[in-house]
């Protein structure tokens, strides 16, 4: 990501689950993540050119940012890109809650700028977009993106920034085989037409689409993701089996096929890696080209599963 153009690797890395590490009960994901394990993840990702790290204050209330900074410590700032968010629901009551939240994130991240700063959701586009302008002017924010915004809300945010000579350069929405609202609602088309990078999140449905979890081996009991997905795992089997079969011919796993699908749709997946082996998978996924017939087959099986995985925080697209 250099100069004025947003340029990013084919796959970005997500650190929501990293906010769990060290939490009592292992937090939202129920994963046991160690500092040394996450350093290994960073090491492997960075050496394979996967250098864009997505986080948010909302992930473990700052813990994800702190843990990420520790895992990246010692590297040259130019070697990696940071993407974090302003979450309207967590706004403080100072004069400029957007600038305040950014400053706190910069502090935790141990840096003086972020490569991409996102408005986490469209709680009030007219209120929360204008405060980004001085942050862009100061260089504390290099690029702006909006997340969980509809097509109309993206266009509104873009008009507001446009009046000051800036633009919305990126969109970040839930987009997976199971949840294709952004495609149906024309958000992907909007991004293509306006040269806006679309980042897809929860491509693996928090593990449910990796083929690693099934009714006999569910997501960690007691975690929030288990509450969402364990009851529907039995409906995903035909899809994950097909993903695994497509992957087998290419020496890849179901998760890698899901990632390759998101790339084939013209998006930049943000994958929530928690283990170094996941990074090996992403490196393989970058090289997988799915045939149109395979894509159609996977989407048909996903439709047959007939599940709604829209997050509680997401608007109808």
Q: Which residues bind ligand NAP (CB under 6 A)?
A: 14-17, 29, 31, 54, 120, 147-148, 172, 201-207, 210, 212, 255, 270-274, 278, 281-282
> Cβ closer to ligand NAP: 37 or 134?
37
**Smallest distance, ligand NAP to C-beta of residue 173, A:** 8
Min dist. Cβ of residue 292 to ligand NAP (A): 24
Give 142 or 292: the residue with its C-beta nearer to ligand NAP. 142
Nearer to ligand NAP, 131 or 269 (CB): 269
Rounded-to-integer distance, Cα 169 and Cα 154, Å: 10
Question: Closer CB to ligand NAP, residue 44 or residue 278?
Answer: 278
Of 221, 235, 155, 143, whose CA–CA distance to 187 is shortest?
155
Measured CA to CA, the distance from residue 30 to residue 213 in angstroms comes to: 14
- Give the residue with the Cβ less far from ligand NAP, 134 or 241: 241
What separation in angstroms does the CA of 225 have from each of 182, 184, 283, 297, 312?
22, 25, 26, 27, 12
Burial category of 10 from C-beta neighbours within 10 Å (exposed 0-12, middle 13-18, buried 19 and up): middle
Nearest Cα to 31, choosing from 43, 15, 45? 15
What is the smallest separation between the CB atom of 183 and ligand NAP, expressed in angstroms?
17
Question: Whose Cβ is closer to ligand NAP: residue 17's or residue 106's?
Answer: 17
Residue 200, strand partner residues: 173, 269
Q: Which residue is nearest to ligand NAP (CB)?
A: 272
Q: How many helices (H) and strands (E) does the chain have?
A: 13, 8
Cα separation values, 136 from 1, 109, 142, 197, 232, Å = 15, 18, 6, 18, 43
For ligand NAP, the closer CB: 156 or 226: 226
Q: Least CB distance from residue 31 to ligand NAP, whole Å?
A: 4
Q: Are strands 197-201 and 81-86 parallel, antiparallel or unpaired?
A: unpaired
Residue 18: count other Cβ atoms within 10 Å of its Cβ: 29
In eight-state DSSP terms, residue 53 is E
Both tokens of 140, joined, read 């504390």
Give the distance, in angstroms, between the CA of residue 5 and the centroid of all CA atoms in the same chain: 20
Please report how close the Cβ of residue 242 comes to ligand NAP at its closest, in angstroms.
16
The residue among 105 and 148 lying less far from ligand NAP, judged by its C-beta, is 148
Distance of CA 21 to the CA centre of its chain: 18
Q: Can you tell me the distance from the alpha carbon of 37 to that of 275, in angstroms, rounded to the nearest whole number?
A: 7
């Amino acid at each position: 990501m250099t100069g004025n153009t947003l340029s990013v690797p084919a796959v970005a890395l997500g650190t929501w689950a990293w906010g769990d590490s060290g939490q009592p009960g292992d937090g939202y994901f129920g994963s046991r993540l160690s500092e040394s394990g996450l350093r290994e993840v960073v090491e492997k990702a960075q050496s394979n050119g996967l250098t864009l790290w997505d986080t948010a204050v909302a992930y473990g209330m700052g813990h994800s940012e702190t843990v990420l900074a520790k895992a990246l410590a010692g590297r040259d700032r130019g070697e990696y890109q940071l993407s974090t968010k302003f979450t309207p629901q967590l706004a403080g009551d100072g004069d400029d809650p957007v600038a305040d939240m950014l400053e706190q994130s910069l502090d935790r991240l141990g840096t003086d700028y972020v490569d991409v700063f996102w408005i986490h959701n469209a709680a009030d586009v007219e209120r929360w977009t204008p405060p980004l302008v001085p942050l862009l002017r100061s260089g504390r924010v290099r690029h702006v993106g909006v997340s969980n915004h509809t097509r109309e809300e993206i266009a509104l945010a873009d008009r507001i920034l446009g009046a000051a000579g800036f633009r919305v350069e990126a969109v970040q929405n839930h987009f997976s085989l199971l949840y294709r609202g952004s495609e149906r609602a024309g958000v992907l088309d909007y991004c293509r037409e306006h040269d806006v990078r679309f980042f897809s999140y929860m491509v693996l449905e928090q593990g449910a689409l990796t083929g690693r979890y099934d009714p006999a081996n569910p997501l960690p009991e007691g975690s929030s993701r288990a509450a969402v997905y364990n009851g529907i795992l039995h409906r995903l089997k035909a899809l994950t089996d097909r993903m695994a079969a497509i992957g087998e011919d290419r020496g890849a796993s179901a998760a890698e096929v899901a990632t390759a699908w998101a790339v084939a749709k013209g998006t930049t997946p943000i994958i929530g890696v928690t283990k170094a082996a996941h990074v090996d998978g992403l490196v393989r996924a970058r090289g997988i080209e799915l045939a149109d017939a395979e894509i159609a087959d996977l989407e048909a099986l996903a439709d047959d599963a007939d599940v709604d995985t829209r997050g509680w925080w997401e608007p109808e697209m």
